[in-house]
């Protein structure tokens, strides 16, 4: 039976304008960094994407190297698009990126025109698309002139391979220069994708102000600190968790006794607010109107449903915010 999206899907989600653009994004976007590669079950990935769309999530975020293996998340997403979402393409925002290692040799990494053009062409082929809605440079390249990288993003829009462009992992000074170059080229930067959570707040040191002043959207990734800001680690490290795996992004040595105490104190506040710890962590980010959307991952549709519930309670009292700052700023726990 062909997939039919729920008619009421757009009443279940909040949408926010992306900077000064004409584009709105759902407050919760689905990131396909984990759980959508060839090592994962395609039917589970399909169920998560269907649930997301039925819940009003229109934005699906990928990158050339998502998997594993690299490229397989885009291949699987392309399969699901073709089989289930061909009728809904114009209701979807699909993004991809390039900037990290994708293939061997000098042309499969960083920010050269050669790499970025080749990478986007490959991504479009893997997903079976004529264009992506947003294409990002995934990280700054210390060796390639920024003018070359930004001119390539501009070229992609002029070629019709991307509707909008963005940057990711750029610090404030280099982001400011990138925004200036893109504006002069006539293809303004739509959005910045930085790492941001209660435990990783570097964007508060100037980047968030810059984006707000320049009218550029902001869509944080890893808002739950690779799962640390969930109930999973409140009592230690479960055997099946990311932290228990030797080569993951979250390492066991990051979960100290002090950090556990911090999590428990935050969880106590979340319970008082009628939220899970993960929901409060997402609400804490989305309370700032400079944040357009927040990227969440999911290994099951139920996880995504839990994250979406954060939208029921986005406001914080001054007392709550002060308590959170107190817990997060305790030098013994950082």
Q: What is the CATH number of the domain that holds 119?
A: 3.20.20.100
For the chain, the distance separating the N- and C-terminal CA atoms, rounded to the nearest angstrom, is 52
C-beta of residue 108 within 8 angstroms of C-beta of residue 70? no
Q: Tell me whether residue 75 is in a domain.
A: yes
CB-hemisphere CA count at 13 Å for 114? 7
Neighbours of 241 (CB within 10 A): 19
Take residue 7 and report the two structure tokens written for it. Answer: 């008619």
Instruction: Examine residue 188 and state whether it is found in any structural domain, yes or no.
Output: yes
Task: Determine the Cα–Cα distance for residues 193 and 203; give it in Å rounded to an integer.
Answer: 10
- What burial letters (b/e) apply to 28-62, b meaning 16+ CB within 10 Å? bbbbbbbbbbeebeeeebbebbbbbbbbbbbbbbb
The pLDDT value recorded for residue 116 is 98
Has residue 276 been placed in a domain? no
pLDDT value of position 244: 45
Measured CA to CA, the distance from residue 140 to residue 189 in angstroms comes to 15
Predicted pLDDT of residue 238: 58
pTM: 0.94
How far is 254 from 228, CA to CA, in rounded Å?
9
Return the CA Rg of the chain.
19
3-state secondary structure of 141: coil
Q: What is the pLDDT of residue 234?
A: 83
Strands 162-168 and 132-137: parallel
> Is residue 273 in a domain?
no
- Alpha helix stretches (DSSP H) within 159-198: 172-185
**With the CA atoms of 193, 199, 200 and 206 taken in that order, what torsion angle do they form, in degrees rounded to the nearest 10?**
100
For residue 22, being part of any structural domain is answered with yes
Per-residue pLDDT of the chain (334 residues; tens, 9 = 90+): 889 999 999 999 999 999 999 999 999 999 999 999 999 999 999 999 999 999 999 999 999 999 999 999 999 999 999 999 999 999 999 999 999 999 999 999 999 999 999 999 999 999 999 999 999 999 999 999 999 999 999 999 999 999 999 999 999 999 999 999 999 999 999 999 999 999 999 999 999 999 999 999 999 999 999 899 999 878 766 555 554 444 555 556 667 888 889 999 999 999 999 999 999 999 999 999 999 999 999 999 999 999 999 999 999 999 999 999 999 986 555 5
Residue 120 in domain: yes
The predicted structure's pLDDT at residue 211? 98
Indicate the number of domains in the chain: 1
Q: Does residue 253 lie within any of the structural domains?
A: no
CA-based angle 32:38:43, to the nearest 5? 75
Q: In the prediction, which pLDDT does 158 show? A: 98
Q: Which domain holds residue 143?
A: 15-226+285-314
């Amino acid at each position: 039976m062909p997939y039919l999206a729920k008619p009421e899907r757009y009443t279940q989600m909040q949408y926010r304008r992306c900077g000064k653009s004409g584009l709105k994004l759902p407050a919760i976007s689905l990131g396909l960094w984990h759980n959508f590669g060839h090592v994962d079950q395609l039917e589970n990935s399909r169920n998560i994407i269907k649930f997301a769309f039925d819940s009003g999530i229109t934005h699906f975020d990928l990158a050339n190297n998502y998997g594993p293996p690299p490229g397989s998340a885009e291949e699987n997403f392309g399969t699901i698009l073709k089989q289930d979402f061909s009728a809904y393409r114009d209701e979807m925002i699909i993004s991809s990126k390039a900037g990290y290692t994708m293939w061997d040799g000098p042309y499969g990494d960083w920010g050269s025109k050669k790499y970025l053009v080749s990478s986007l062409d490959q991504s479009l082929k893997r997903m079976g698309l004529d264009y992506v809605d947003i294409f990002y440079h995934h990280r700054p390249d210390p060796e390639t002139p920024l003018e070359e990288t930004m001119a390539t993003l501009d070229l992609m829009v002029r070629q019709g391979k991307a509707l909008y462009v963005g940057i990711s992992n750029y610090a404030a000074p280099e982001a400011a220069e990138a925004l200036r170059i893109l504006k002069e080229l006539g293809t303004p930067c739509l959005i910045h994708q930085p790492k941001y959570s209660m435990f990783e707040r570097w964007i508060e040191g100037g980047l968030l102000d810059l984006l707000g002043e320049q009218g550029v959207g902001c869509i944080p990734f890893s808002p739950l600190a690779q799962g640390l800001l969930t109930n999973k680690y409140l009592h230690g490290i479960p055997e099946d968790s990311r932290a228990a795996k030797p080569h993951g992004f979250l390492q066991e040595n990051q979960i100290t006794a002090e950090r556990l105490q911090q999590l428990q104190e935050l969880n106590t506040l979340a319970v008082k607010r009628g939220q899970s710890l993960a929901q409060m962590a997402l609400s804490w980010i989305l309370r700032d109107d400079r944040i357009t959307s927040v990227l969440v991952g999911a290994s099951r549709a139920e996880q995504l449903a839990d994250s979406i519930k954060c939208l029921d309670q986005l406001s914080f009292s001054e007392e709550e915010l002060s308590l959170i700052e107190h817990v997060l700023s305790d030098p013994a726990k950082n």
